[in-house]
Chain A
Amino acid sequence: MGSASANISTSGSSVNKGESLLDTARTIDMMGTDIIIMRHNQSGAPHFIAPYLKASVVNAGDGMNEHPTQALLDMLTMYERFDTFEGKNIAICGDIYHSRVVRSNAIGLKKLGANVSVYGPKTMMPIGIENMGVRIADSVADCIKDADAVMGLRVQLERQQKSLFPSIAEYAKFYAITPEMLALAKPDAFLMHPGPCNHGVELPTAVYDCDQSVINEQVTNGVAVRMAVLYLLMARRNQL
């Protein structure tokens, strides 16, 4: 798109020397940056720095809070298949608690009129998620039944150490989206995953590669959505 970009990660930057997030952000800002695209492990980190900067801040994922462009690309992928979102059933299975993808999708899909069902081990279900306008399903089967689109979520394997699930084998047996589970969705339903995927954990490889899978298309749509975000944001900045 003709812009110049620079990548800054915490390793190899002054963050390693104890620089505060605000100081780092101000430094980048003062270099004449137009847009800071920020991924941060703390929820609310972009909300925190944005008021202090001249640059626009794009939230590329903040902690467990939101991943807005992922939800936009997910919705674009659905939009290419749906005539309308109104009344469509979207099933999301996996680690709901830690997922910023779920939160952004719940907000966006609800706005578009879709019904969202979520399911995961109770240890990974956040209290009060139903107040975000989603339905809490009773099982993977209940979640997926009659769905128009099914979304798997990555489960971080190290969560076993915090007793959120006992073993990969058990997770794969009781919580994965198997071919049998996917068969409960509507016949023309399709399968999504924000990636990266743990093959054989939340999705068997056969499901990942099945005809209903649009996971690779999501990646392509991600480029388009992010280009659009940058394009629209720069257009707005140039007007100011």
Chain B
Amino acid sequence: MKLILKNAKKFNEDKTSNIYIADGKFAAEFAEDQADRVIDLKGACVTPGLVDMHCHLREPGGEYKETIKTGTASAAKGGYTSICPMPNTNPVADNAAVISGIMKKAKEADNCRVYPIGAATKGIDGELISEMGLMKEAGIVAVSDDGHPIKNAGIMRKVMEYASDFDLPVLNHCEDKSLSEGAMNEGTVSTTIGIRGIPTAAEDIMIARDIILSEYLNIPVHICHVSTKGGVRMIRDAKARGVKVTCETCPHYFTLTDDCCETYDTNFKMHPPLRTEEHKQAIIEGIKDGTIDAIATDNAPHHADEKVCEFSVALNGILGFETAFALGYTYLVKTGEISMAKLIDLMCYGPSNILKLGRGGMNIGDDADLAVFDLENEFTFDKEKMLSKSRNTPYDGWKLYGETLLTVMGGKVTYEKLC
């Protein structure tokens, strides 16, 4: 398969040029009549394929919400070419057999490079370390218990030590569950509408613990989806003194606040919860000054039955693949907070570096992973047009910039907007 993308405007170049792809790689120029397909991008923006280091594909066990096939199609629509599903499936992805099954399904779907994250502890119950070595052979790139934070500091230490033997990053969802019985951020809004709150302290306490362990052991740790001002401050301070801590945030933490929960709309219920404006601004500050290394989606499909219900009963999480880039572009780049190059760092090179995926190269010979976005025209995000099986997005009807026009993974077109 030979592909030419004409009049491509690379995100870091001022002029348009042509991109040549052959045998799955970026290639040197060749004649148009040798190409199987020529696509005129008419000056649209080309970026490396995006990398999502934190998502949920729900398979195995949750196929009624999402499958690897539909989830990776949804990711491709968002411009992603590499994604990392979390292990909280059923059965839990805590052994090589489950990981191999995920890899096989991902290969069949062939929409994205899927790099699974293995469970840090068996059954993600925080007690016994998992078979990290065997899972690494099967394809994992990191370990995490995600929504089930490792509450016992002694176990966390052993997870970090053992994972480092296999050069596997440890990603921790930081939340002291003894402080967080609630369903939304604790504050004026939760008090006013009578919903039990989750204090920022629940997140901050575990971030502090993980930084302390990382510094003491001199082993890296990655903090998942940071949502608090205190978290950003502690990570910034730790980085300044050389602690090997990295972190991610998600688009909802720089675009939404807990005010959104006032109507009990469960599409604003997620973990960590949406915080106040003060915390949202601190997240944007952390993005700007480099404290935050990556923007991940925490893409979390849920069936309507799990969301169309009482607020406290509803499951946590929202879809993210199909809105992440547009939200980042509209709310960070277009507003002048960061440059386009910085956004690509956060959504491609940053996560790729943390997980050592080697993604994002656009030189001749590199895997041809790229995305094309329309930065000029506003579009209205319509949840009914999503490729996910689920519809739990809070962004329905939002007017955004940065609609995906084309996604190419390994030289194959995995998504194209039908014009």
B335 an interface residue at 8 Å Cβ cutoff? no
CB neighbours of A20 from chain B (8 A): 305, 309
Query: Is the CB of A76 closer than 8 A to any CB of chain B?
Result: no
**A20-B305, A127-B186 given as contacts; is B191 within 8 A of A44 (CB)?**
no
Q: Are A62 and B194 in contact (CB under 8 A)?
A: yes
B192 at the interface (CB under 8 A from A): yes
Show the binding face of A for B, using Cβ within 8 Å: 20-22, 40, 42-45, 47-48, 62-66, 100, 103, 126-129, 131-132
Q: A-B pairs with CB below 8 Å: how many?
A: 67
| Stretch of B83-91, B110-118, B310-318 contacting A (4+ beta carbons < 8 Å) | B310-318
| SS class, residues of chain A in contact with chain B | mixed
User: Which partner residue on chain B sits nearest A97 by CB separation?
Assistant: B191
Bin the interface of chain B by size. 20 to 34
B264 contacts the other chain (Cβ, under 8 Å)?
A: yes
Q: How far is the CA of A132 from the CA of B187 in the complex (A)?
A: 11
Which residues of B are at the interface with A, using a C-beta cutoff of 8 A?
A: 186-197, 199, 263-264, 305, 308-313
What's the Cα separation between A171 and B14 when bound, in Å?
71
- How many Å from the CB of A49 to the closest CB on chain B? 9
The answer on a CB contact under 8 Å between B310 and A45 is yes
Q: Do B191 and A43 have beta carbons less than 8 Å apart? A: no
Query: Taking A44-B264, A48-B310 as contacts, is the C-beta distance between A128 and B305 under 8 angstroms?
Result: no
By the criterion CB–CB under 8 Å, are B311 and A43 in contact? yes
Bound Cα distance A9, B160 (Å)? 51
| CA of A147 to CA of B142, assembled, Å | 61
The one of B191, B196, B199, B308 that contacts A22, using a Cβ cutoff of 8 Å:
B308
A132–B188 Cα distance when bound, in Å, is 8
Q: What is the distance, in angstroms, from A46's C-beta to the closest C-beta of chain B?
A: 10
What are 12 A-B contacts defined by CB distance under 8 Å? Answer: A42-B312, A43-B312, A44-B310, A47-B264, A48-B310, A63-B194, A100-B194, A103-B192, A126-B191, A127-B190, A128-B187, A128-B188
CB-nearest residue of chain A relative to B188? A128
Q: Which residues of B contact A40 (CB under 8 A)?
A: 310
Q: Count chain A CB atoms within 10 A of each CB in B187, B189, B191, B263 and give the residue with the most.
A: B191
